[in-house]
């Protein structure tokens, strides 16, 4: 089904079919050099995960000097380079910066990309990024991505080869065919090798879904912590808090430096999610001790159980 | 400072001073028989924790037949008895039922209590319970309590001697002197022995604080899960959820069977907490990408950090 290609000096490897049919085929690796642009927690973890998964090509890093130092020390990248030099050499370009920086990088790297190169990213919203890539990446390919993972602490020092294991890794192809190009199949192979579970959806669907599953929970956690901050003044009041409040304020620890861009690039969907949650809270407040409250608890518990299956 | 009393057959034990001064004194144990009314998760865990802490008196259990069977099997109680017989024999009565049942039990046990007995409870709201105890418990003593602990799963089968370790155990004396009676000091000794950290406040202060630290987080979690339940229909949408949503919907698994009573007995404080959270969310929605949002993130992150210290 797939042509076995061999080049001098490059041994053929096994690749699973990206169709999930379980078929395994030989193919020469096309991705021999990876450029990770933004070697923070996600970027450096991707480097470590690639190496742990058996990737034996070269990993270049592009980032700020302290982030590059940490990534080199952790062994997440082999070499630190300026953006243009890294992109010129890479078969796969992995943009793991903040959304604003990803949009900037997409604007400038077009002319430097190799014709066969694949650009992917880890941005938390996808519509604006995919649209920017459509305008800027010509003569190469772009496949948007969003690994659903993270940690409270940021930076390459926190990088972890297992960060993607058992996590969904969303891909947002502009068209379904974009998943079935040779470099996309090879990227899918490595994504699966990190232990992640790929899931494809359109950029618009991604943004609507994460507004509900990620951005709304963040804002509820932030609103809860901000509400309590002004109302629980005495230190002993905090001692009255059980483990439930710890769960509900963990997201509130997140930095606005990441969230400013997310809210900016997903305004409509976040606004709509917030409106729905406010409406639900107003309904609960109006029927604090009514049967509607019982129904809300039952609906909510069923959803929370379904989420855990 | 304290009289060393000895009775035949009862050896004196060491008790720490409840004042926290570190003083240790000899006293004869007054609490030799404990009745745990409601041998669910909290009640059975208290029995296990008492035994693990060295309590060598008798522990009686009052509950439904299946709950008693589980509690006996776990070794959380020594003997199962009907309410009146247990209460007649007990020096300490521990009411670990739902709030509605605690109010009912308080209404009926008054005439059966021994004059020296101390009644305490584990109800999640305190004003109504303390008020009911004031009316019903005459000739014996009541000291309201609320150990800030729990588990997702209920029942004696889930009981754990370490459930109270490092958790705050709130006590709500009607007056400060209620903490300094001989049986209250002995209860405090055992509370500390379970690893819990006692904290005293008035019933009204307790209810206002837990409306913010416990009831509001619960309703936010329920509202979030209920909002998502109707808007995320496709199973693959749930795969897009990261660990943050799991944190934020853990409380939503709670049963209304427990929460109906809590909301019913703390209406005013819960209404006020919900109003504050809705107002905060409306402010965030109005300024999604403004400097106010940055300020809310910073305030919230500072509070969440403080909570973790």
Residue B302: its chain A contacts at CB < 8 A?
A: 229
Radius of gyration of chain A (CA): 22
For residue A21, pLDDT over 70 is answered with no
Residues 6+ apart with CB under 8 A from A121: A94, A95, A96, A102, A129, A144, A145
Which residues of chain A make contact with B308, given a CB cutoff of 8 A?
A: 246
pLDDT tens for each residue of B189-212? 999 999 999 999 999 999 999 999
Predicted TM-score of the model (pTM): 0.85
Question: How many angstroms separate the CA of residue B97 from the nearest CA in chain A?
Answer: 19
The two tokens of residue A241 are: 């808090």
Domain ranges in chain B?
Answer: 13-201, 205-307
Chain A residue with Cα closest to B167: A242
Q: Among all chains, which residue has been given the structure tokens 């934020």?
A: B248
The structure tokens listed for A234 are 């005495």
Task: Report CB contact under 8 Å: B222, A296.
Answer: yes
Q: What is the per-residue burial (b if ≥16 Cβ within 10 Å, else e) of A240-272? A: bbbebbebbbbbbbbebebbbbbbbbbeebbee
Task: Give the CA-trace dihedral at A178, A179, A185, A190, to 10 degrees.
Answer: 120
Tens-digit pLDDT profile for residues A213-228? 999 999 999 999 999 9
The closest CB to that of B224, out of A197, A220, A230, belongs to A220
HSE-CB at B114 with a 13 A cutoff on CA atoms is: 19
Q: Could you tell me which CATH number the domain at B205-307 has?
A: 1.10.3660.10
* pLDDT for position A154: 87
Residue B18 DSSP symbol: T
ipTM of the prediction: 0.85
**What pLDDT is attached to residue A172?**
97
Give the residue from A42, A122, A163, A222 with the most B CB atoms within 10 Å of its CB, the best one to mutate: A222
3-state secondary structure of B117: coil
Structural tokens at position B78: 């020594």
Q: Is the CB of B245 less than 8 angstroms away from the CB of A271?
A: no
Q: What is the overall mean pLDDT for chain A?
A: 90
Contact A240 B305 (CB under 8 A): no
With CB atoms and an 8 Å threshold, state whether A213 touches B294. Answer: no
Query: Cβ contact (<8 Å) for B248 and A220?
Result: yes
Q: Which residues of B touch A206 (CB under 8 A)?
A: 240
**pLDDT of the residue at A233:** 80
**Shortest CA distance from A146: residue in chain B:** B240
- Each residue's pLDDT tens digit, A96-153: 999 999 999 999 999 999 999 999 999 999 999 999 999 999 877 999 999 999 887 8
A130-141 residue pLDDT tens? 999 999 998 779
Spatial CA neighbour of A169 closest among A139, A141, A190: A190
Q: How many helices (H) and strands (E) does chain A have?
A: 13, 10
pLDDT in tens, A27-78: 578 999 999 999 999 999 999 999 999 999 999 999 999 999 999 999 999 9
Q: Are A125 and A150 in contact (CB under 8 A)?
A: no
Q: Which residues of A touch B100 (CB under 8 A)?
A: none
Amino acid A20: pLDDT: 47
Select the residue of A199, A226, A297 nearest B240 (Cβ to Cβ). A199
Cβ–Cβ of A236/B199 closer than 8 Å? yes
Residues in chain B, total? 309
Cβ of B252 within 8 Å of Cβ of A199? The answer is: no
Question: Is residue A41 within 8 Å of A156, Cβ to Cβ?
Answer: yes
pLDDT of residue A152: 74
Report yes or no: A132 and A108 within 8 Å, Cβ to Cβ. Answer: no
- CATH code of B13-201, in short, is 3.40.50.720
Residue in chain A lying closest to B232 (CA)? A209
CA distance B231 to chain A (A): 8
The rounded distance, in Å, linking the Cα atoms of A92 and A113 is 10
Beta carbons of B301 and A199 less than 8 Å apart? no
CB contact under 8 A, A276 and B231: yes
Q: Mean pLDDT for each 10-residue chunk of chain B (309 residues)?
A: 32 43 59 97 98 97 98 98 98 97 97 95 97 89 94 89 96 93 95 97 96 97 97 88 92 93 97 98 94 95 93
pLDDT of residue A143: 97
| Rounded (5°) CA angle A257-A259-A262 | 125
Residue in B125, B249, B267, B295 to test binding to A, most A beta-carbons within 10 Å:
B249
Provide the pLDDT confidence category of residue A2 given band limits of 50, 70 and 90: very low
């Amino acid at each position: 089904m797939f042509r076995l290609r061999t080049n001098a000096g490059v041994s053929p490897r096994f690749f699973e079919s990206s169709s999930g049919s379980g078929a395994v085929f030989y193919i020469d690796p096309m991705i021999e050099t990876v450029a990770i642009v933004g070697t923070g927690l996600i970027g450096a973890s991707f480097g470590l995960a690639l190496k742990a998964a058996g990737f034996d090509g070269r990993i270049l890093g592009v980032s700020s000097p302290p982030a590059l130092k940490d990534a080199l020390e952790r062994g997440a990248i082999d070499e630190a380079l300026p953006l243009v030099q890294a992109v010129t050499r890479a078969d796969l370009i992995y943009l793991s910066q903040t959304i604003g920086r990803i949009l900037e990088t997409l604007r400038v790297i077009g002319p430097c990309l190799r014709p066969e190169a694949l650009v992917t990213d880890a941005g938390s919203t996808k519509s604006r990024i995919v649209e920017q890539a459509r305008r800027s990446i010509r003569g190469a390919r772009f496949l948007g991505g969003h690994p659903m993972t993270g940690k409270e602490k940021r930076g390459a020092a926190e990088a972890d080869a297992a960060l993607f294991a058992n996590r969904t890794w969303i891909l947002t192809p502009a068209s379904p065919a974009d998943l079935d190009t040779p470099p996309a199949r090879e990227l899918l192979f490595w994504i699966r090798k990190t232990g992640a579970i790929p899931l494809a959806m359109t950029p618009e669907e991604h943004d609507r879904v994460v507004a509900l599953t990620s951005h709304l929970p963040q804002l509820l956690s932030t609103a809860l912590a901000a509400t309590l901050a002004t109302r629980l003044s005495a230190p002993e009041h905090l001692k009255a808090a059980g483990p439930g409040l710890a769960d509900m304020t963990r997201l509130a620890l997140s930095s606005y430096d990441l969230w400013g861009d997310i809210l900016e690039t997903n305004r409509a969907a976040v606004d709509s999610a917030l409106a729905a949650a406010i409406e639900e809270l107003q309904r609960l407040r109006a029927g604090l001790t009514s049967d509607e409250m019982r129904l809300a608890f039952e609906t909510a518990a069923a959803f929370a159980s379904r989420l855990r299956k």
